[in-house]
Chain A
């Protein structure tokens, strides 16, 4: 039995279990729980033995070029696995915690509506976890990363019939999406730095990295900062911290596995994984350490004033992850790994026992009550004391900050395109596309300068359309159409770049277009059935009545946002490869369209299908519940 086979097994096994779990009938709790438990148990055993064997053989790094999903003479899209001590630790911890959480949930979730959906999502997450932890290059990592984001969205919105989980799920997804763009741009940067799909194995070769970075320090720093953005978003570091406590909406074990232990530590993972790359650059080290330090300093007072148990644990954990960032920046890799393990275990357990706090702490108070316990803040002046207290209570306004700085300006620009309605959208969008195609056909009559600018112009127009899709409040179908047009315009634009291959275009659009069409059909059906409740002003909760439609629409939306359910995912990477390294602005617009279109689509899905059901003929929760 070869090692390659085993490494692939770690990734495939959870996928297989996940797929089987999709076909088990809803009410068959026993089969679902047994499948999930024995599947993960087997995974854990294999992982344990493999790691033991690997340690015994002296920690040799393993790289496996597994599958080329797409290959031409100039381009390969590789699924690549890599195994070193970082993967080993993440794999083992992930497997153990998932196993325990599944065992826990088999009883805890008993009789809960959505029992099956819960196990499906956790297994999907587990697959993503393994894929990410074992990824050997950016492409594979990104694949896993995207899946983590979606599974996170699904678990936060587990109670999708209520308003707050639905809203917070979109919030969490939006922040994750910002992180995704970090990886996306880092991928683009490294394409140009290495001129290939660089493997993490290569990145760990200090000599090689050093040679490549010579004279290219700015792109090196660019990649490092992108990686940091990705890491900070996923690990709830500044300025993204506020999403973590808001993600505690699902059943307690899902919060424990996601936000207590595994998902939230993937920022640490990506830093550890690429350490040899940014480690070569002192400035990058300093920025990372400062991010960690600032986060710790801010999260500490916030956690001290939290009066709810889960948010207290969330902020305490954020502070610890800040320290991990510092540890990594200082080169203390092993310490950071140990810290990760400890923190993950500790916070998981603390979240799981959080309901016990009432009985335990009340009893503690009953026997040890002190009317005015002293806290060190009281030694400050009252003015400082109260100010910091209020700031901490308001989480240093971090939640507002992201909205104001990132999303609000986008919304403002998008609102400028208020004249686009569903009825006129075709007359605006189709000429845009046709003019693009015409330009492409008569390419040779355009001047070289113009040709040079065309990709940027098209991507920019696409970006503006996406802003409109993002800020659209009335017409769900317009949002989808705009996103589709954006993709097409980008494709046309990039095709003006040199060495363009039409096959790439085909791959790119082959997933996008059908997904968009299916999504539009779904929306049309919904519109026909619910003409009164069909806009983006409120959450309508249509999933209560239209479950299948919601599912189809969700999958098609995933396809449309380039999620790895269609070949477009590879196409996106291909298109990205065609953006030259001097086309920085183009890359920026492309990436921004990518995040915002994802958010816009998830918003359409959430507002139409999630939230408190608009109809009043059955019991439902208050908005504030």
Chain B
């Protein structure tokens, strides 16, 4: 396709704003409104809202209800306002916040040009073009639902359509003009736009209108154009071809309806003073000031408790010598599990870090035909880890077989399988159990399989990837891991490296539940690789030379925590030295007890489970969620996340954070020049910030920025979901992941000197942008004085912050609270810390 520069630029601009969600198997959380990230948060919210019609805050009534119900503390509200406004303004703003009525209607810019046009033509053109467009693209991209594949799937999209047009009896395009345009060698987007829109200055507006009528499919095409490897079965498609196809469909429909040359272009009906500039400036309104103010109050009413809690003096720990250490993922779901490990295993200590444990590679399971990435999505690893001597972990389910859709196969299967299906359904309804449909985190890697981790000499490559790591490379990674979490001395005899994954069944968004730092996979392989490296004698020798002495009596054990079922699996247990085996066995039972308590704590949020039963009984019920076909919420995933703490565990251990905090271990003493902090923040901002904002936007506008309710979803070509037969692809998170979520932005609290944080942040422009533009809040906890400094994004400097809150409740009956309270809990001071 030939593209004039103008059209090319338009498409480039368009792509920037379209949703960038991967196909389902590679679902990774990201900031839904990343396109606006170069603006300050609240300004961006108003802009996105007024241009695209998104809801970017809760409705005003909702904030007021939170205030009435006391979720936004009323005393805090007053003090916050008093801090912000002088006496005269205070009353005016209070009045506006609490009582003034606003018209919350949005008249978005996008769509307006086409709307005028369609109204004038009296022709609902999308009703004709959308179904053909969606179905053709879906069939073209389909990864494995259809039995009879798109016949020309190996060509470019538009060439495939051309071939169909040439060779079919009943043709895709029936009007002469559309056919001629399609078959023309130098099909040009400008030419098509000229026919449909006419006025060049309106092209941009028209394209935005057209593509934002179905952002799901357009976004998917744009993503696949950039990253064709996201499909196992590759396709060649570009957004430009997709748009050309849609424009041709429109010309075809209009020519058939009115006759060629007998209808007018979009420009013809556009008002004289129509605002042509779609991404132009918007007029700010008071309503958005009120929204912004409410949102800040809502957020700070929670942050303030945490910040106050951090200042509460804690007793220094008696002994630095530990019996057990565990390194877990930064993930907010490990927040409570870590608390129980520390509580139940004597002499234990936990650390948090991004769950790929600083080892980045592709993983190829045995029998697998492809690789999967096992590190954060932006990282491009050069290594491949292969599995061997593993058991087969995939079984067949006849209900998913293509034969059942044939005539003879369907006949036979309904006679012979029909009763069986009903039996299975009945069984699953009353006694949910494992099945081939179940996605289990433990099946990502075989417990008893082996991995080729160490590179052979000479080094071998496969498809440009190095097979395994050399000793130097391993040492680099382990050193990086240990220094960044501040574990450089006082090694315990047993150190657990615990990755995490999730399990579910009947869950289209399964990849979004696994470890985000492992590109939406379970973290078992990374844990096993990291533990192997850390146990490697040559690596330890090298580490010693670099100043980290791990005693020979220390052994690393890899494990995987299933966050849905609260189960744990340990790897390579046969390699544990005999003198540690007994200790390990004791720990295993303690881990089990910790998991039971963890399940009980989680169960308070599952309304259909009676949390007052014993830990074990509750745990059994929690486990069933992962196996039940009828359970749309196997777990709550990252719902309620609000905080990210980067610092020593001992500085925050005394606070009960209700599974709302990402926890990254970091010791300012080990990182005097902020070198490791830069790396941590480079991961924290996009990973935790991305998770947080995707939850935020999916919650505040579940219809447009989220996927809506998942109950009617239909799987489209294995790459996305839509409602019914002819719906657009739905991006973002479904309502069932969000019911309990409170949309707060992320507050990152770093235990380090403010000046050092600032210089670390500024080293990486795109990381700094998150904070500078206020998409993530930032505070510093001075490690020695315990003073809090808040990063003011306007002046771009840290300012001392005095918490408004003056006391925190002490939790003495946590268990009782778990049994009765199902709402967000305040920050508690834990009693025995």
Binding site for B on A (CB under 8 A): 96-97, 100, 103-112, 158-159, 162, 164-165, 168, 245-246, 248-253, 255, 296, 300-301, 303-313, 315-316, 319-320, 323, 338-339, 341-346, 348-350, 352-369, 371, 373, 375, 377-378, 382-383, 385-387, 389-394, 397, 615-625
Contacts and interface: CB of A to CB of B under 8 A. Distances in A.
A362 B509 CA distance: 13
A624 B714 contact: no
B414 A339 contact: yes
Ordered nearest first, which 9 A-B pairs have the shortest CB separation?
Answer: A342-B418, A342-B414, A349-B421, A307-B142, A251-B711, A316-B405, A624-B728, A345-B418, A304-B148
Interface in B215-253: 215-216, 232-233
A369 B232 contact: yes
A261 to B, nearest CB: 10
Contacts of B170: 387, 390-391, 394, 397
A385 B145 contact: no
Nearest to B141: A307
Contacts of B418: 341-346
Interface in B664-719: 700-704, 708-718
A438 to B, nearest CB: 41
Given A341-B418, A360-B397, A112 B708 contact: no
B142 A625 contact: no
Interface stretch (B84-92, B103-111, B342-350, B475-483): B103-111
Given A346-B417, A621-B704, A108 B632 contact: yes
Interface string B400-432: 100011110011011111110110111001100
Contact of A108 (B704, B711, B713): B711
B460 interface: no
Interface of B: 24-25, 53, 55, 59, 103-107, 126, 130, 132, 135-136, 138-139, 141-152, 163-164, 167-172, 213-216, 232-233, 367-370, 394, 397, 399-400, 404-407, 410-411, 413-419, 421-422, 424-426, 429-430, 436-437, 439, 505-508, 510, 607-608, 628-633, 700-704, 708-718, 722-728, 730, 736, 739
10 contacts: A104-B630, A307-B142, A316-B410, A346-B417, A350-B399, A361-B145, A383-B168, A619-B701, A620-B703, A621-B708
Contacts of A354: 714-715
Nearest to A342: B418
A621 B707 CA distance: 10
Contacts of A352: 425, 506, 629
A377 B723 contact: no
A349 B425 contact: yes
Given A165-B724, A300-B407, A319-B410, A309 B714 contact: yes
A248 B709 contact: no
B782 to A, nearest CB: 42
B821 to A, nearest CB: 17
A362 B143 CA distance: 8
A306 B145 contact: yes
Contact of B148 (A96, A301, A315, A623): A301
B151 A358 contact: no
Contacts of B106: 616-617
A301 B631 CA distance: 34
Contacts of B55: 618-619
Given A162-B723, A246-B725, A625-B703, A353 B399 contact: yes
Contact of A355 (B163, B422, B713, B725): B713
A345 B419 contact: yes
Given A361-B145, A367-B368, A619 B105 contact: no
Contact of B149 (A350, A373, A621, A623): A373
A253 B405 CA distance: 20
Contacts of A112: 709, 711
Given A360-B400, A362-B718, A621-B704, A250 B213 contact: no
A248 B142 contact: no
B725 A358 contact: no
B608 A383 contact: no
Given A346-B404, A375-B149, A385-B151, A310 B725 contact: yes
A566 B324 CA distance: 76
A353 B136 CA distance: 25
A616 B52 CA distance: 12
A511 to B, nearest CB: 35
A365 B143 CA distance: 9
Interface centre among B132, B370, B416, B725 (most CB of A within 10 A): B725
A283 B714 CA distance: 41
Contacts of A616: 53, 105-107
Given A158-B712, A307-B135, A361-B400, 5 more contacts: A323-B407, A357-B718, A359-B510, A618-B104, A625-B216
B718 A104 contact: no
Contacts of B411: 320, 323, 339
B181 to A, nearest CB: 19
Looking at chain A's contact residues, the main secondary structure is: helix
A369 B715 contact: no
A305 B711 contact: no
B404 A348 contact: no
B146 A306 contact: yes
Contacts of B105: 615-617
B631 to A, nearest CB: 6
Given A248-B725, A389-B151, A359 B168 contact: no
Contacts of B142: 307
Q: Which of A250, A348, A365 has the most CB of B within 10 A?
A: A365
Contacts of B148: 301, 304-305, 375, 377, 389, 392
Contacts of B144: 361-362, 364-365
Nearest to A255: B712
Most chain A CB neighbours (cut-off 10 Å) among B148, B369, B700, B723 = B148
Contact of B508 (A107, A109, A168, A355): A355
A354 B164 CA distance: 31
A103 B630 CA distance: 9
B509 to A, nearest CB: 9
A168 B139 contact: no
Nearest to B411: A323
A346 B608 contact: no
Contact of B607 (A110, A341, A344, A622): A110
Contacts of A310: 714-715, 724-725
A346 to B, nearest CB: 5
A91 to B, nearest CB: 16
Given A363-B394, A393-B139, A394-B132, A625 B708 contact: yes
Given A357-B718, A621-B708, A319 B506 contact: no
Contacts of A158: 712
A197 to B, nearest CB: 36
A369 B437 contact: no
A308 B717 contact: yes
Contacts of A349: 399, 421-422, 424-425
A131 B143 CA distance: 44
Contact of B370 (A309, A323, A345, A369): A369
A623 B111 CA distance: 11
Given A312-B146, A371-B233, A355 B151 contact: no
A197 B504 CA distance: 55
A515 to B, nearest CB: 31
A426 to B, nearest CB: 28
Contact of A159 (B632, B712, B736): B712
Residue from B163, B397, B628, B632 whose CB has the most chain A CB atoms within 10 Å = B632
A251 B607 CA distance: 21
Contacts of A108: 630-632, 711
A616 B429 CA distance: 41
Contact of A111 (B107, B151, B164, B739): B739
A100 B629 CA distance: 12
Contacts of A348: 421-422, 425
A303 B421 contact: no
B6 to A, nearest CB: 27
